[in-house]
Amino acid sequence: MDWKRDVRSLKGIGPKRASELHRLGIDTIQDLLSYYPRAYEDRSRVKAIASLVPDEPAAIRGVVRRVQEKRPRRGLSILMAYIDDGTGMISVSWFNQRYLSGKIKAGVKVFIAGKVGYAFGGHGQLAMKRVTAFEILDGQEGTESLCGIFPIYSVAGSLSQTFFHKIFRQIFAEDFSAEETLPPKICAKYKLMGRMDAVRAIHFPENLAHLKHARDSLAFEELYLIQCGLFLIRKHTHEEKKGIRHLPDHKLIRTLLSLLPFALTEDQATAWKEIKRDMERPIPMRRLVQGDVGSGKTVIAMLALVKTVENGLQGALMAPTEILAEQHYESFCRILEPLGIRITLLTGRWGREKRQTIYETIAAHDVDIVIGTHALIQDGVSFASLGLVVTDEQHRFGIAQRAKLAEKGKMIPDALIMTATPIPRTMTLTIYGDLDVSTIWHLPPGRKPIRTFLRPMSRRPLIYQYVRKQIESGRQAYVVCPLVEHSDGMDLMAAEEVYEELRANIMRGISCGLVHGRMKAAEKDRVMQAFYKGEIQLLVATTVIEIGVNVPNASVMVIEHAERFGLSQLHQLRGRIGRGSYDSCCILVSEMQTESARERLHLMVETTDGFKLAEADLRLRGPGQFFGSLQHGMPDLKVANVLQDMDILLKARKAAMETIHSHEGLDAVLPILMQRYQAHFLHILHS
């Protein structure tokens, strides 16, 4: 059988199902084969009904004794069956699944897996809730999958569990000659199951060990391919290009170090040493510095920029917002202008003419350090001799952008990327596999810790009285809300509502501002500026302030509906305060209706360590959502799980490195990389 064959060539797939499959991204048999089960039921552990315990998943087998159908109201039909296995009886309900009514009849033998709970209005009787698998056992079908491990697919429309089981049986009944993805040597060395066997085992596992071996092999393959992609980027943008060899530190750097009002912390010193070493090598630097908000990354950037200036080159610093660019500009000027370093701010605010003049000074090397937003690079600004590009808070950009950055210019400038999003230690390799990473684990000493409190909605009047007192004593405050407008059906405090409420009542006489994502950039900027300058005392905002400004005078933050935010996001938000010499306090307002909200918010109260919170966030929300919120530009993982597969990742990374260095089997890997991850690695594969 040919893997690339259209699914319509299979029995049982007509135009309707073909279009339903197409919606799932499945057109060929190969696509279908990689539609992996979302879970497995271990049917070797069927339980006796008498032994079931509420809130636990369970599988049962028994005979239907009685069936009831109800129509409590229009559009709702309930089918209820009572199952008896000789030890006891339990009810199962299906909602609006009328096609089942002809099939589930008294006397029919069934298998059901789900979660055990209490029957609605059943006076403590148990029921099977949230049915994950259901099968009628009479008849030929199912008998072969009666024991052992049973795959469960995500179903849609007419594509039922039974459909998937049947279609895979049909496919595997034919003979296959599968293409292997991995070089045979790698397969042998890492004891991987052949691709074809692994795919078959994923759909028809013989037992748990067999399934694990298959899954691990496919996870390995997936991580291996991505790591190959990352290594290729690295090779392309890093090792094969001629970079700039900076000279060892000279007078300027030494003067700067002596001028700093503090000594570098141990983590900062290590990061600086690593950066220096990279800069002094002839291959381009591609280094990421990760450190929590306030960990002191700016001074590291400054040192690196001064180093490039000391070498007679120019440096660029890209900030994520205009305001941050301006803040960096001010602090850089204060420290570096006395040393004779020429600094320019390039902002979108200025007119064409002024920008044009600046372009000319940059091209003529009449300026040493240029600070701006990332438009700085995209505008086609041409530097006389660019030695280093620093990007601040670059976590919102994917690998593709990182690679693009390095492609500017003839000589490749060194690249330093700063991110304030702590990534759990175990994940840096998957996300930043193409970069070297320096980490600032600890904040500089003497920082006043931010105190965090958790309060119910009923305490809002008291909370805002406290906020008002703080403002009256000269501080500024943030109030963060999850949504802009009140949206139907959700009882959420929207930013606009809160703004109006506060202004009209408890904050009367205090100058308040509102900023949210739907405002025009210029207007947003104007409000943020006013807050920065102290003209606005209380800023009501949505998460747009996450990577906003540095306002040391702002020492209070209230987060409404705190349960609506992820841990990492709450941490980023909280990082807006505690930047000055004042006691800072963050108040999380929430009713905490769910267990997970309670856990998250208590963690926020307990710790301010961004790495700890990121790890917890990853654990609580799962890799999918965690990755999603980072907008990292990495391909989605289909099999591998970054939380659990660290050991596989390390092995796959090692194998990928072997392949890239030895070239052995690379010819076979490239087309597959192309086919699977084209969108992510296109730029390298094309060059």
Element (H, E) at 40: strand 39-42
Work out how close the CB of 264 gets to ligand ADP at its nearest, in angstroms, rounded to a whole number: 5
Instruction: Based on the shown chain and the rule CB under 6 A, indicate whether residue 88 belongs to the binding site for ligand ADP.
Output: no
- Name the nearest CA neighbour of 119 among 81, 87, 70, 63: 81
Tokens of 109: 């033998």
Residue 323 contact among Mg ion, ligand ADP, none, beta carbon within 5 to 8 Å by kind? none
Interface contacts to Mg ion, rule CB under 5 A: 298
Instruction: Based on the shown chain and the rule CB under 6 A, indicate whether residue 290 belongs to the binding site for ligand ADP.
Output: no
Selected range binding ligand ADP among 4-12, 289-297, 396-404, 669-677, rule: CB under 6 A: 289-297
Instruction: Based on the shown chain and the rule CB under 6 A, indicate whether residue 633 belongs to the binding site for ligand ADP.
Output: no
CA distance 317 to 370: 6
Among 62, 296, 315, 413, binds ligand ADP (CB under 6 A): 296
CA distance 351 to 132: 61
Work out how close the CB of 441 gets to ligand ADP at its nearest, in angstroms, rounded to a whole number: 12
Give whichever of 298 and 608 is closer to Mg ion, judged by the CB atom: 298
Instruction: Based on the shown chain and the rule CB under 6 A, indicate whether residue 676 belongs to the binding site for ligand ADP.
Output: no
Give whichever of 257 and 519 is closer to ligand ADP, judged by the CB atom: 257
The single residue listed with the structure tokens 């205009």 is 322
Selected range binding ligand ADP among 143-151, 296-304, 349-357, 464-472, rule: CB under 6 A: 296-304
Work out how close the CB of 428 gets to ligand ADP at its nearest, in angstroms, rounded to a whole number: 17
Instruction: Based on the shown chain and the rule CB under 6 A, indicate whether residue 372 belongs to the binding site for ligand ADP.
Output: no
The single residue listed with the structure tokens 């001799």 is 385
CA distance 556 to 391: 29
Residue 168 burial by Cβ neighbours in a 10 Å radius (0-12, 13-18, 19+):
buried
Instruction: Based on the shown chain and the rule CB under 6 A, indicate whether residue 306 belongs to the binding site for ligand ADP.
Output: no
Residue 268 contact among Mg ion, ligand ADP, none, beta carbon within 5 to 8 Å by kind? ligand ADP
> 584 with 478: CB under 8 angstroms?
no
Work out how close the CB of 278 gets to ligand ADP at its nearest, in angstroms, rounded to a whole number: 19
Work out how close the CB of 391 gets to Mg ion at its nearest, in angstroms, rounded to a whole number: 11
Give whichever of 370 and 420 is closer to ligand ADP, judged by the CB atom: 420
DSSP 157-218: TTB-HHHHHHHHHHHHHS---PPP-S-HHHHHHTTPPPHHHHHHHHHS-SSHHHHHHHHHHH
Residue window 326-365: x/- pattern of binding to ligand ADP, with contact defined by CB under 6 A: ----------------------------------------
Selected range binding ligand ADP among 251-259, 262-270, 493-501, 585-593, rule: CB under 6 A: 262-270
> 129 with 94: CB under 8 angstroms?
no
Residue window 430-449: x/- pattern of binding to ligand ADP, with contact defined by CB under 6 A: --------------x-----
Residue 314 contact among ligand ADP, Mg ion, none, beta carbon within 5 to 8 Å by kind? none
CA distance 478 to 462: 16
Give whichever of 298 and 476 is closer to Mg ion, judged by the CB atom: 298
CA distance 493 to 499: 10
Among 151, 291, 320, 482, binds ligand ADP (CB under 6 A): 291
Among 186, 336, 420, 471, binds ligand ADP (CB under 6 A): 420
The single residue listed with the structure tokens 């405050």 is 477
Give whichever of 205 and 296 is closer to ligand ADP, judged by the CB atom: 296
Among 161, 217, 237, 268, binds ligand ADP (CB under 6 A): 268
Residue 305 contact among Mg ion, ligand ADP, none, beta carbon within 5 to 8 Å by kind? none
- Name the nearest CA neighbour of 600 among 564, 627, 636, 548: 564
> 540 with 499: CB under 8 angstroms?
yes
Instruction: Based on the shown chain and the rule CB under 6 A, indicate whether residue 580 belongs to the binding site for ligand ADP.
Output: no
Among 236, 276, 297, 561, binds ligand ADP (CB under 6 A): 297
Q: Is 283 left (phi over 0), alpha (psi -120 to 50) or beta?
A: beta
Q: How many CB atoms lie within 10 A of CB 73?
A: 7
Residue 364 burial by Cβ neighbours in a 10 Å radius (0-12, 13-18, 19+):
exposed
DSSP 230-256: HHHHHIIIIISS-B--PPPP-HHHHHH
Cα dihedral 479/484/487/492 (nearest 10):
-10
Instruction: Based on the shown chain and the rule CB under 6 A, indicate whether residue 298 belongs to the binding site for ligand ADP.
Output: yes
Residue 610 contact among Mg ion, ligand ADP, none, beta carbon within 5 to 8 Å by kind? none
Residue 290 contact among ligand ADP, Mg ion, none, beta carbon within 5 to 8 Å by kind? none
Residue 422 contact among ligand ADP, Mg ion, none, beta carbon within 5 to 8 Å by kind? none
Work out how close the CB of 315 gets to ligand ADP at its nearest, in angstroms, rounded to a whole number: 17
573 CB-side CA count, 13 A: 30
> 114 with 57: CB under 8 angstroms?
yes
Instruction: Based on the shown chain and the rule CB under 6 A, indicate whether residue 293 belongs to the binding site for ligand ADP.
Output: yes
Instruction: Based on the shown chain and the rule CB under 6 A, indicate whether residue 318 belongs to the binding site for ligand ADP.
Output: no
Tell me the backbone φ, ψ of residue 256, rounded to 5 degrees: -60, -45
Work out how close the CB of 545 gets to Mg ion at its nearest, in angstroms, rounded to a whole number: 14
Residue 224 burial by Cβ neighbours in a 10 Å radius (0-12, 13-18, 19+):
buried
Residue 296 contact among ligand ADP, Mg ion, none, beta carbon within 5 to 8 Å by kind? ligand ADP
Give whichever of 215 and 297 is closer to ligand ADP, judged by the CB atom: 297
Selected range binding ligand ADP among 294-302, 454-462, 488-496, 596-604, rule: CB under 6 A: 294-302
Q: How many CB atoms lie within 10 A of CB 403?
A: 21
CA distance 416 to 316: 10
β-pair type (314-319, 76-84) = unpaired
668 CB-side CA count, 13 A: 12
Tokens of 256: 């700067």
Among 161, 227, 295, 419, binds ligand ADP (CB under 6 A): 295
Give whichever of 295 and 568 is closer to ligand ADP, judged by the CB atom: 295
CA distance 268 to 660: 33
- Name the nearest CA neighbour of 579 among 611, 523, 532, 543: 532
Give whichever of 296 and 315 is closer to ligand ADP, judged by the CB atom: 296
Instruction: Based on the shown chain and the rule CB under 6 A, indicate whether residue 294 belongs to the binding site for ligand ADP.
Output: yes
Give whichever of 113 and 318 is closer to Mg ion, judged by the CB atom: 318
DSSP structural state of residue 239: I
Work out how close the CB of 556 gets to ligand ADP at its nearest, in angstroms, rounded to a whole number: 19
Instruction: Based on the shown chain and the rule CB under 6 A, indicate whether residue 264 belongs to the binding site for ligand ADP.
Output: yes
Q: How many CB atoms lie within 10 A of CB 666?
A: 15
Instruction: Based on the shown chain and the rule CB under 6 A, indicate whether residue 265 belongs to the binding site for ligand ADP.
Output: yes
Tokens of 671: 């087309």
Work out how close the CB of 285 gets to ligand ADP at its nearest, in angstroms, rounded to a whole number: 19
Tokens of 260: 């700093």
Size, binding site for ligand ADP by CB under 6 A: 14
Give whichever of 293 and 673 is closer to ligand ADP, judged by the CB atom: 293
CA distance 83 to 128: 10
> 113 with 130: CB under 8 angstroms?
no
Give whichever of 319 and 640 is closer to ligand ADP, judged by the CB atom: 319
- Interface positions with ligand ADP (CB under 6 A): 262, 264-265, 268, 291, 293-299, 420, 444
